[in-house]
Amino acid sequence: MTGVSEIRAKDAASDSELLQGVYAELRRIAAAKLAREMPGQTLQATALVHEAWLRLGGEQQPAWDSQSHFIAAAAEAMRRILVENARKKLSQKRRGEFERVELHESAFAGPSTTEDEKLIQVNEALEAFAAEDPEKAEVVKLRFFVGLTHEEIAALLEVNEKTVRRHWEVAKVRLFEKLSASE
pLDDT in tens, 44-103: 777 888 888 888 887 777 777 777 777 788 888 888 888 888 888 877 665 555 554 444
Count of H helices and E strands in the chain?
A: 7, 0
Nearest to 75 by CA among 140, 161, 150, 163: 140
Of the chain, the percentage scoring pLDDT greater than 70 comes to: 69
Nearest to 152 by CA among 28, 59, 36: 28
Q: Max Cα separation, the chain?
A: 81
pLDDT at 123 over 80: yes
The most confident of the ranges 68-72, 105-109, 129-133, 176-180 is: 129-133
Q: Are 75 and 146 in contact (CB under 8 A)?
A: yes
**DSSP-assigned letter for residue 113:** P
- In the prediction, which pLDDT does 38 show? 55
- In the prediction, which pLDDT does 105 show? 44
Nearest to 85 by CA among 130, 142, 139, 47: 47
- In the prediction, which pLDDT does 150 show? 93
- In the prediction, which pLDDT does 109 show? 44
Q: What is the mean pLDDT of the chain?
A: 75
68, HSE (Cβ side, Cα atoms, 13 Å): 9
> In this structure, what are the phi and psi dihedrals at residue 10, rounded to the nearest 5 degrees?
-65, -40
Backbone region of residue 43 per phi and psi (left: phi > 0; alpha: psi in -120 to 50; beta: other values): beta
Residue type, 19: L
The DSSP-derived string for 20-53 is HHHHHHHHHHHHHHHHTSPTT----HHHHHHHHH
pLDDT, greater one: 9 or 170: 170
